[in-house]
Amino acid sequence: MAIEIQKASNAAEALGIAHSRMSWAVQANLASVYPDEFRDADTSMQAADKAYSEKAYDASIALANDVVRIISDDLMAEVNALREAEAQLAADKAIADEVMPKAQDRIEWADLNNIKADYPEVYNSAHSAMEAAQKAYQIEKYAAATQLANEVLSTLSSEFEAKVTADRAEKARLAAEAKAKEEAEKEAQALIAQNKKYAEVAISDARSRYDWAASKNAANNYPDLFKEGGNLLADAQTAFNALDYVRAKDLAAQAYWTLMEIGEFAPLPATYKVRLIPERRDCLWRIAEYQFVYNNPYKWPVLYEANKKTFKDPSNPNLIFPDQVLTIPSIKGEVRQGAWDPKKTYQPLPK
């Protein structure tokens, strides 16, 4: 009796810690950032509570510890850091929203006063900084956008405006500036051609990787990565068609490295839901024989030992029911995660 009371006490303590982690996860909106981890932790939490209510204290402790393992200190620190980064991003955006219009006003002044013709280097410097600021703003690099916008303000300052007024009387200077403009335009065209070539190569590489992933059933094996890579590739092509070759190259590179995370096979499943198969009834022997389980029917005792506490009759390994979820322990160090999905392609476990 004393042992049982101690187990109950230990289980209650473990549940308290796990519930604390889940409360933090809800407050931190973990489901929006790490949906898989939140789902797994929530599933384990519910199972731990259920096990405790059924006085299965050892199972309750194990499941509660699983919640703590999933919502680890490292994960909490990472999420908190992410939230802090979001707050910093919002602060940077507020500053950029104040500075960017001022810089745009100076660009419009330069356009109205034909500064590009007389002072192409100054204009190109400011205009390039403005374009870079706008691009940085579009990709939420607000601090960089602010710095570049300040460069515009510094370049097209009131002192510079006064200088323009005085220098307009000097024809020789106009001729020299016209020549500089021509050279700058040539450099810009050369840069565009170079960037176009880089973008073409990057898009081609990403497309090849996408096609390979599609041929390996990535749409089902790694749906999130495959979708993300495809979207990035589509965005890269859109940017290329809009002649934004630098952005096209960057997006294509992101698509390529995202798709590189896709393997030839999906990770082996960690759970299996018993199916109702009239012509070949599921049993532990046959389930263990599945290639994505153990590829060996003689390994059925491993499934039994790992799951018998969940059986209606723990002493009867033959009594399993359709929709019963079985845990599949790793026996060869293989990585297992998620539930078995008939749409996914799994590499058979070596016998």
Please report, in tens digits, the pLDDT of each residue of the chain (351 residues total).
Answer: 788 888 889 988 989 999 999 999 999 888 888 899 999 899 999 998 999 999 998 899 999 899 999 998 888 898 888 888 888 889 988 999 899 999 999 999 999 999 999 899 999 999 999 899 999 889 989 889 999 999 989 998 989 989 998 988 776 666 766 888 888 899 989 999 999 999 999 999 999 999 999 999 999 999 999 999 999 999 999 999 999 999 999 999 999 999 999 999 999 999 999 998 888 889 999 999 999 999 999 999 999 999 999 999 999 999 999 999 999 999 999 999 999 999 999 999 998
Judging by DSSP bridges, how do beta strands 271-273 and 325-327 pair with one another?
antiparallel
Place of tokens 């402790």: 61
Q: What was the pLDDT predicted at 349?
A: 92
- Nearest-angstrom CA–CA distance, 129 and 104: 11
pLDDT of res. 250: 96
DSSP classification of residue 298 = G
* Two tokens, residue 4: 């049982």
CB 292 within 8 A of CB 349: yes
CA distance linking residue 313 with residue 110, whole number of Å = 84
Category of 192 on φ-ψ map: left (φ > 0), alpha (ψ -120 to 50) or beta: alpha
Query: What gap in Å lies between CA 207 and CA 232, rounded to an integer?
Result: 11
Tell me what pLDDT residue 322 has. Answer: 93
What is the distance between the alpha carbons of residues 74 and 31, in angstroms, rounded to a whole number? 16
Query: What pLDDT is recorded for position 208?
Result: 96
| Cross-strand bridge partners of residue 272 | 326
Give me the amino acid identity at 149.
A
At 173 the pLDDT is 63
Burial group, residue 291, by CB count within 10 angstroms (0-12, 13-18, 19+)? middle
C-alpha 98/C-alpha 86 separation (Å) is 19
DSSP secondary-structure letter at 347? P
Count of positions (residues) in the chain? 351
Where are any strands of DSSP class E within 250-309?
271-273
Separation between Cα atoms, residue 327 and residue 350, nearest integer Å: 19
**336 bridge partner residues:** 268
Q: CA 102, 106, 108 angle in degrees (round to 5)?
A: 115
Under 8 Å between Cβ of 58 and 77 = no
Partners of 254 in beta bridges: none
Q: Distance (Å, rounded) from C-alpha 89 to C-alpha 78?
A: 16
User: In this predicted structure, what is the pLDDT of residue 7?
Assistant: 86
CB 320 within 8 A of CB 284: yes
| 293 CB-side CA count, 13 A | 24
pLDDT for residue 171? 66
